[in-house]
Amino acid sequence: MTKKGRILTGDRPTGQLHLGHYVGTLANRVRLQDEYEVFLLVADYHSLTTHPNKEDASATRPNSRELVLDYLAVGIDPEKTTIYRQSDVPSVTELCLIFAMLVTVPRVERIPTLKEVMDAQHIEQPSLGLLTYPVLQAADILHLRADLVPVGKDQESHVELTREIARRFNTLYGELFPEPAALIGEVPTLMGTDGQGKMSKSIGNAIMLADDAETVRQKVMSMYTDPKRIRADIPGTVEGNPVFQYHQAFNANKAEVAELEERYRAGKVGDVEVKKKLIVALNNFLDPIRERRAKNAAKPGLVDEILAAGADKVRPISADTVRRAREMMGLI
Ligand code: TRP
């Protein structure tokens, strides 16, 4: 079957993935494996932009393994999708350096994720590496000349910069790069269990794909719901209520969800029943993921083999792009 194009996307290896990743981007990646040629990147250099010390740098190795196990667990098939680690394909950093000449400092300073990361991690002055974060991301996407980038909504501004860089290169030196599009998932922003903002592991409001059934039960039972509803007979609000957002995203029994919403709005169901049904739905959703994860985690060399094969496949594609770029620039 001829493929519609090429996908490149990925994650930093900072630990395990959560339900927000699933609806934001993982589901798209699994769904598109047959239609597109898909590349999945474990962005270990990107992890260093905020955590360069030795301990965190070396943690990217075990974290990469967890990330790949999550990919396989949700249904990424390594026969169809090429999974590789960024630092195993060093030519991407060459392209990043070339791209760095095409972007001004104020342009990267305006990217909203920079301020968000600096605020969240109490960083007063960004390192040059942190400023370059989205430029390296553009190199990740463009060294494989990808057309489509399935990512969470927070990453849209990076794909926009990637398009600008592609345009700028093409204008200055000739057509080499496609202008890739971002593909955002069905639920662009899944709320955290605290209902305060988006689900994020670092805030501690996340349900991880690898959480066991008991952990899921505890997290759901302590979830934020509608604060105005101090008794079950008070009509509740479904919109903006994370318990219902999760029901809509993960409960396969749509009739049950519709019925619960109706009773909630009418003040005819207690939070406990809504939560208990959510626990069942989430565990039904997560059970096959957990099973696949456990099965793969028990195979000792599996992840290393997948990453080695991925890097072998990506290196020549990347090297070819960089050579063509240098040629077009008149460097060779
Ligand atoms: N910045 C992305 C994130 O934090 C990870 C990433 C690095 C990425 N390089 C990429 C995503 C290239 C898509 C394409 O989620």
Q: Return the CATH number at 269.
A: 1.10.240.10
Q: Are strands 6-11 and 81-85 parallel, antiparallel or unpaired?
A: unpaired
Question: The CATH number of the domain where 144 resides is what?
Answer: 3.40.50.620
- In ligand 1, which atom is closest to the CA atom of 133? 1
Whether residue 181 sits in one domain with residue 222 = no
What pLDDT is stored for residue 244 in this prediction?
Answer: 97
CA 237 and chain centroid, separation = 29
Q: What is the pLDDT of residues 114-133, one digit of tens each?
A: 999 999 899 999 999 999 99
Whether residue 242 sits in one domain with residue 151 = no
- Cβ(141) to ligand 1 under 6 A? yes
Whether residue 317 sits in one domain with residue 253 = no
Distance CA 218, CA 215 (A): 5
Whether residue 157 sits in one domain with residue 85 = yes
Whether residue 216 sits in one domain with residue 182 = no
Distance CA 44, CA 48 (A): 7
What pLDDT is stored for residue 201 in this prediction?
Answer: 86
Domain count, the chain: 2
Residue 195 lies in a domain: no
What pLDDT is stored for residue 230 in this prediction?
Answer: 86
Residue 198 lies in a domain: no
How many Cβ atoms from other residues are within 10 Å of residue 122's Cβ?
A: 6
Site to substitute for ligand 1 among 46, 159, 202, most atoms within 8 A of C-beta: 46
Q: What is the pLDDT of residues 48-66, one digit of tens each?
A: 999 999 999 999 999 999 9
Q: How far is the CA of 43 from the centre of ligand 1 (A)?
A: 7
Residue 1 lies in a domain: no
- pTM for this entry: 0.94
Q: In what order do the strands lie in the sheet with 181-184?
A: 81-85, 37-42, 6-11, 148-151, 181-184
- Looking at the predicted structure, is the pLDDT value of residue 94 above 90? yes
- Determine contact, residues 63/290, Cβ cutoff 8 Å: no
Residue 150 lies in a domain: yes
Whether residue 140 sits in one domain with residue 250 = no
Residue of the CA atom closest to atom 15 of ligand 1:
11
What pLDDT is stored for residue 119 in this prediction?
Answer: 94
- Cβ(150) to ligand 1 under 6 A? no
3-state secondary structure of 241: coil
- Cβ(10) to ligand 1 under 6 A? yes
- Determine contact, residues 199/206, Cβ cutoff 8 Å: yes
What pLDDT is stored for residue 1 in this prediction?
Answer: 67
Q: How far is the CA of 11 from the centre of ligand 1 (A)?
A: 5
Q: How large is the average pLDDT for residues 240-244? A: 95
For Cα atoms 305, 309, 315, give the angle at the middle one, nearest 5 degrees: 140
Residue 107 or residue 201, greater confidence: 107
CA 164 and chain centroid, separation = 22
Whether residue 255 sits in one domain with residue 166 = no
pLDDT above 70 coverage of the chain, percent: 100
- In ligand 1, which atom is closest to the CA atom of 8? 14
- Cβ(137) to ligand 1 under 6 A? yes
- CB-based contacts of 82, cutoff 8 Å, min separation 6: 38, 39, 40, 309, 310, 313, 314
Whether residue 215 sits in one domain with residue 321 = no
Residue of the CA atom closest to atom 13 of ligand 1:
9
What pLDDT is stored for residue 44 in this prediction?
Answer: 98
Residue 305 lies in a domain: yes
What pLDDT is stored for residue 203 in this prediction?
Answer: 87
Residue 203 lies in a domain: no
Whether residue 325 sits in one domain with residue 270 = no
Q: What is the pLDDT of residues 103-116, one digit of tens each?
A: 999 999 999 999 99
Q: How far is the CA of 153 from the centre of ligand 1 (A)?
A: 11
Residue 62 lies in a domain: yes
| Tokens describing residue 306 | 């997948």
Whether residue 216 sits in one domain with residue 74 = no
Residue of the CA atom closest to atom 10 of ligand 1:
137
Q: How far is the CA of 268 from the centre of ligand 1 (A)?
A: 44
| Tokens describing residue 235 | 């009509």
Whether residue 43 sits in one domain with residue 117 = yes
- Cβ(140) to ligand 1 under 6 A? yes
Domain that holds residue 219: 211-293
Band of residue 2 on the pLDDT scale cut at 50, 70, 90: confident
What pLDDT is stored for residue 208 in this prediction?
Answer: 97
What pLDDT is stored for residue 289 in this prediction?
Answer: 97
- Determine contact, residues 184/156, Cβ cutoff 8 Å: yes
Whether residue 252 sits in one domain with residue 186 = no
Site to substitute for ligand 1 among 26, 71, 132, 155, most atoms within 8 A of C-beta: 155
Residue 201 lies in a domain: no
Q: How far is the CA of 33 from the centre of ligand 1 (A)?
A: 18
